[in-house]
Every structure is written in C-alpha cells, then in structure tokens.
Structure 1
Amino acid sequence: MVAIFVRTESFREFRTYYPITFLLLCIHILLWALFLIPAQPIQSLFYNFVGYNGAIGQGEYWRLATSMFLHNSFAHLLFNSFSLFLFAPRLERELSRYKFLGFYIACGLLANVLTFIIQPAYYSHVGASGAIFGIFGAYIYFIRNKTIYFTKSDQQIVIVLLIIGLLSGFLNSGVNNVAHIGGFISGYLLTILFARK
C-alpha cells in the first residue's frame, strides 16, 4: 500500500489517475491568476463571488459555492492547493471520481452554510479549507472504523496535521474556524453515505 503522501506519478499520470483532483487544482490556480488582473470588471466579479454573509442573507446564495474556489493570498492558495494535491488522490480513488466530487462540494457547501449561520452579517470568507477539512474528516472516519487500511505513520500524520490545522486556526486571526470545524464534521458524517458500496 502506497503512503497517502507519496506522489510518484508524472504530470500526465496524475491527470489521468485523479482527474477530479487535477480539475480542482486547475480551477484554484486559474481563478487566482484571473483575479490578479487589475481590471475593474474582473475585480468586481471577484467581490461578487466572495462568501459575504450579508449578501448571502439577501439571496445571493451562489456565494456559498463560488467562495470555495477563491483565495485571498498566494500563501492561502499554496497551502490549500498543496493540501489538495497530497490528500485528495487517495480519497478520489476510494470513493470514485464523481462520488469524490460530490463529497468535496458537499463538505465545502455545508462548511459555508454553517459559517453563514454562526458568523455575523458583515463576515466574509474565501477558500477551500472547509472542503479540505472534509477530506480529513473522511480519513478519520476510515481510521476509526478500520474501513480502509492506513499505515501507522499515515494515521499519525493525518491526526497530527488535523490537530495542527485546527489549532493554528485559533492562534491566527482572519481564519474561518467555523468552516474548518464544519467541514471536518461534515466530512466525517458524509463518509458514512458516500463510502457505501
């Protein structure tokens, strides 16, 4: 069994074996590059896609989905994309392509809905963290129920990185901890449904 974090595929192999993960990574990068263009129409489009609770409360529900694919800094983009690159392939393989896509979007949406419910109207957010923490939730479900084999080192890495991710969110300002926790819980619970054969 290959460890979760070992990526030995070539670019073409990665794209072939994990097409949904590859697609999500491309969307992250392309949108980041697009919204770097300092043109007013493009910048307006960005702000219309941000998860702004006040606007969501007035019926702009698409923001719950579009905000999952945006990032507000290069470091934010790099961290989320690298996490997706490392963690998503194993889950895409286990669930199948379309189940994984549904799982990923569902986790991100539920995390953003929880953010809308709990955070104040002036709160705004972007990022794929809710969906990525959903992947952690799935792995914790698999480890706890011994549904899928993980090496001891893989189990330890998942648990340690999950704890670090949650703690760093509380130690740094501007982090959407509600989405992190909501995504993790959603991922854990949704795995019961999506992992069913």
Structure 2
Amino acid sequence: MFTRTENFQTFLRFYPIISTLVGIHILLWLITSLPIPGSTTLLEQMVGFNFLVAEGEYWRLLTPIFMHGGFSHMLFNSFSLVLFGPALERILGKPRFLLTYFGTGVLANIATYFLEPLDYLHVGSSGAIFGLFGIFLYMVMFRKDLIDQANSQVVVTILVIGLIMTFINSNINVVAHLFGLIAGVALGPIVLQGKKGFYTSHHAGSKQSMSFRLPKLSMKHFIWGIIVLLVLVGLLFR
C-alpha cells in the first residue's frame, strides 16, 4: 500500500494527481527561491496570513497548501505525498481525491484562521496530508474491509509519530495538522461511500489495480523503506 514499485513513467501514468501536485510544489519553490522578478510578490500573495484573510483575501485559505517555507519543507511534504497519496488516488478516484486533499487542507486553514492570532502566517501542505491520514484512520476504525491488518499497523504507527513530531517541533502549525486529520476522518464516510472490499494487484494489458496486501520484499522495497525513514527524520528535524 505504501511501497512504490513503479518506475517514473509508470508512476506518472497511474498517479497523475499526485504527480501534478508534487510538480507544482517544486515549480513554486523554484520560482520563489530564485531571484526572478515578481517571485517575492507571488510568495506574498499566496502565503497564509490571518490578518489579510480577515480583510477579505479568502484565496489565502487555499494557496498556502501549495507553498513551502524552504527546500526541506517542500521536499519532505512532497515525499509524504508520494508515499501516502497514491493508494488513495486509486481508491477514491481523481474527483474524490481532489475533494479530500483540498477540502481537508482548506478546512485546516480555516481552523488556523479562527484559532490562531491575526498576525499568524503559515505555508505548507501538511494540513492536507494529515487529511489523507484522516481517511486512512477512518478506514482503520470503520472500513476494515478496505485495509488489511499489516497496513493498518503502518498507518497507526506513522500517524502516532507524526502527531508526536507535531507537538515537540517548533514552527509547526499544530492547528492545521490536528484539524486536517479531523477533517479527513469526517470526510471518510462520504468519499469512501460505495467502495467495496480489497483491491487486488494484477496486470491485464494496460490495466493495473492497487493491492493493499504487502508484497514480498525486494531491493525496491528496501530503497523505499530508506525514503520513509528520511521522511520521518525530516519531520523530526525540519
């Protein structure tokens, strides 16, 4: 479920939403990091700033999802999306996945607006990523037909680590993490409605479906295990 065995081209073909989101992360980081005319203005227009939201700039409830505070912030959020997003993109389908990702991200930012002071600024897709974890958590609790025990343990373990890091790290939007997670759990029964049973893994011409059962370990699995560890280290030290 969380182990990627695809090559780059296959990943792009099977997970176009994840690929596009990561591409946007990288592009916006490059634009706002390089000395390009107008890049500073772009960052200023997209950052979450509660005071300006109160002044009517409501797009700032959405745009921070695409922005990041530095290379490591962008890198580890993108890694998290690549690791944990593909299964849900295949399960939910493109429209429901987009509803989940942006819906939970915006709800997390709305909570940030109401619970943080007016001078609070924030960027990052962590609220939306925690929203995806909220969907997984709903599956673990209420839709065990969609996820096996081994992957349930992975979800719970990573979620516990992520929550611990949320509270012990500085410069973390705790409100966005928590309310993104809560929003994901709340949206679970809506976006998972009509989804039945385990998905099986097979190849039939150009068609492929997602498996939730853990495959046998290989070098690719080992490499992705290292990447997971790097993501967790990034959560700890960023």
Q: TM-score, normalised by structure 1?
A: 0.95
Q: Which residue of 2 aligns with 1:72?
A: 69
- The structural deviation recorded for 1:33 is 0.9
Q: Which residue of 2 aligns with 1:98?
A: 95
Contact 2:48/2:64 (8 A) holds in 1: yes
Which of 44, 62, 69 is the equivalent residue of 1:47? 44
Q: What are the within-5 Å matches in structure 2 for residues 107-186 of structure 1?
A: 107-186=104-183
**What is the CA–CA distance in structure 2 between the aligned matches of 1:72 and 1:10, rounded to whole Å?**
29
Q: TM-score, normalised by structure 2?
A: 0.79
Paired residue secondary structure (1:77)? helix
CA RMSD of aligned residues (A): 1.2
**What is the CA–CA distance in structure 2 between the aligned matches of 1:17 and 1:148, rounded to whole Å?**
23
Paired residue secondary structure (1:35)? helix
Aligned residues: 194
Unaligned runs of 5+ in 1: none
**What is the CA–CA distance in structure 2 between the aligned matches of 1:60 and 1:140, rounded to whole Å?**
33
Q: Which residue of 2 aligns with 1:193?
A: 190
- The structural deviation recorded for 1:151 is 3.4
**What is the CA–CA distance in structure 1 between the aligned matches of 2:55 and 2:145, rounded to whole Å?**
43
**What is the CA–CA distance in structure 2 between the aligned matches of 1:146 and 1:189, rounded to whole Å?**
13
- The structural deviation recorded for 1:145 is 1.2
Query: Match of 1:143, as an amino acid?
Result: V
Q: Does residue 65 of structure 2 align to residue 88 of structure 1?
A: no
Which of 12, 15, 20 is the equivalent residue of 1:18? 15
1:87-124 per-residue CA deviation (whole Å, 9 max, x = no partner) reads 10000111111110111100000000000000000000
Identity between Structure 1 and Structure 2 (%): 44
125-134 or 144-153: which moved more? 144-153
Q: Which residue of 1 aligns with 2:28?
A: 31
**What is the CA–CA distance in structure 2 between the aligned matches of 1:97 and 1:40, rounded to whole Å?**
35
- The structural deviation recorded for 1:15 is 1.0
Q: Does residue 9 of structure 2 align to residue 7 of structure 1?
A: no
**What is the CA–CA distance in structure 2 between the aligned matches of 1:44 and 1:91, rounded to whole Å?**
34
**What is the CA–CA distance in structure 1 between the aligned matches of 2:184 and 2:80, rounded to whole Å?**
15
**What is the CA–CA distance in structure 1 between the aligned matches of 2:140 and 2:49, rounded to whole Å?**
35
**What is the CA–CA distance in structure 2 between the aligned matches of 1:147 and 1:23, rounded to whole Å?**
30
Contact 2:47/2:121 (8 A) holds in 1: yes
